Structure 1
Amino acid sequence: MSIDPSSIPNFGGQQPDPKDEGPAGPVVPDQDLVKQLLDQMELKYVVDDEGDLAAPWEDFRTYFMFRGEGDQQVFSVRTFYDRPHPIDDKGKLLESIDDWNRRTLWPKVYSHTHDDGTVRLIGEAQMMVGVGVALEHFVSSTVSWVRASIEFDKWLVDQLGLEKDAESGEDSDGDSGSGSDDS
């Protein structure tokens, strides 16, 4: 199975004409299919120590994971936002991500408080794939989830006034945000 480049959504550009062919039957996506999609999206990726695909950005990492077996297999796109926030800002963060979660379908974002007292955010979208899914649906959902993960980071920077921190090269707690292994 391969991905037709014209099936990758082009948000903001002109959409290609649909093919005259009928829809393809359901496929059970796998890591090779996700790699093809990431290659066609021209996104760099690595395979981590647990065998999951990860696409790194400057301030976050997006993982493409398959969990479960058989009919219960789930495909998850999970983004770990590396920007640390002080525990004192958690209330403001929760208000912001609640607003995001009410307004958008994905990624659903939640917080994680680390042992050192910093708070980081995680976004996630999931799809049941074990019984098969239309290839077009899988591709368009995955692309949309990646783009929404990027948009969330931009939105949060705007909501919390983090542009000043980004422009000055500082995070709110002085950490360079080099990331930690949150997976």
Structure 2
Amino acid sequence: MTIDPSSIPNFGGQPQPQSAGQAGPVVPDQDLVKQLLDQMELKYVIDDEGDLAAPWEEFRTYFMFRGEKEQQVFSVRTFYDRPLDVEERTRILEKIDDWNRRTLWPKVYTHLHEDEEGGASVRLIGEAQMLIGMGVALDHFVSSTVSWVQASMEFDNWFATEMGLKPSEDGQEGAGPDEA
């Protein structure tokens, strides 16, 4: 199975012609996701567990297949690498609750990340899932996956703006205007 480039949603505002699509449902696999990422011109790697990951500067998006044949789930999970202050967890939760109420995906949650020195920070994880075990329409799979990737990027920008995060003088993001 191949992906018709015209079936990839265009987020630039200009509608693209719709393809006729493939007849009947398909069960997506890693090769299909690789083909889609290639057509989106996104770099990807395969991690030690065999999952596809597309790395960005501030986050990594994984494309995973889990579960048994008829109950298989395709998951797009984004790990945001920006360490956040544990003391800010209440404010962080308020912001991501707002995002989760107003958007369909990714649904975002927190993770307490402990480092080697015994310190801790809050990290964010975004996730969207699709049941694929019985097959899905190829156009639906493509448009959903592309939308999820786009929304993961939009969340990162939205969250940085909402939290007042900005690049510091050394190019690293800081906690806001009070950080010198």
TM-score of the superposed pair, with normalisation by structure 2: 0.90
**SS of aligned partner of 1:55:** strand
CA deviation map 1:132-154 (0-9, x unaligned): 00000000000000000000000
Kindly provide the CA deviation profile for residues 71-91 of structure 1, in whole angstroms up to 9, marking residues without a partner as x.
110000000000001110100
The 2-side partners of 1:168 and 1:2 are apart by 41
1:125-174 residue CA offsets vs partner (Å, 9 max, x unmatched):
0000000000000000000000000000000011011025487524339x
Residue 6 of structure 1 is matched in structure 2 by: 6
Q: Stretches of 4+ moved more than 4 A in 1?
A: 164-168
Partner of 1:26, secondary structure, is: coil
Matches within 5 A, 1:1-183: 1-19=1-19, 21=20, 24-115=23-114, 116-165=119-168, 169-172=172-175
Separation in 2, partners of 1:165, 1:83 = 14
% identity of equivalent residues = 71
Question: What is the letter of the counterpart of residue 149 of structure 1?
Answer: S
Other structure's SS at 2:145 match: helix
Closer, same or farther: CA 170–143 of 1 in aligned 2, 3 Å: closer
Secondary structure of 2:50's counterpart equals coil
Q: Return 63-72 or 110-119, whichever deviates more.
A: 110-119
2:78, 2:127 within 8 Å by CA — same for their partners in 1? yes
Q: How far apart are the structure 2 equivalents of 1:150 and 1:166?
A: 23
Report Cα offsets for 1:5-42 as digits up to 9, x if no partner. 000000123222234x4762100000000000000000
Is the partner of 1:111 in helix, strand or coil?
Answer: strand
Residue 179 of structure 1 corresponds to: none
What are the ranges of 5 or more consecutive residues in structure 2 without an aligned counterpart? none
Contact map agreement 1:66 1:75 (CA 8 A) in 2? yes
Q: Which amino acid aligns with 2:162?
A: Q
Please give the TM-score of this superposition, normalised by the length of structure 1.
0.89
> CA–CA distance in 2 between the matches of 1:138 and 1:9?
11
**Comparing 141-150 with 115-124, which one deviates more in the overlay?**
115-124
Aligned in 2, Cα 1:23/1:37: closer, same or farther, shift over 3 Å?
A: closer
Number of equivalenced pairs: 172
> What RMSD in Å do the two structures reach over aligned CA positions?
1.8
**C-alpha distance after superposition, 1:36-59 (max 9, x if no partner):** 000000000000000000000000
Amino acid at match of 2:109: Y
CA distance in 2, matches of 1:25, 1:10: 24
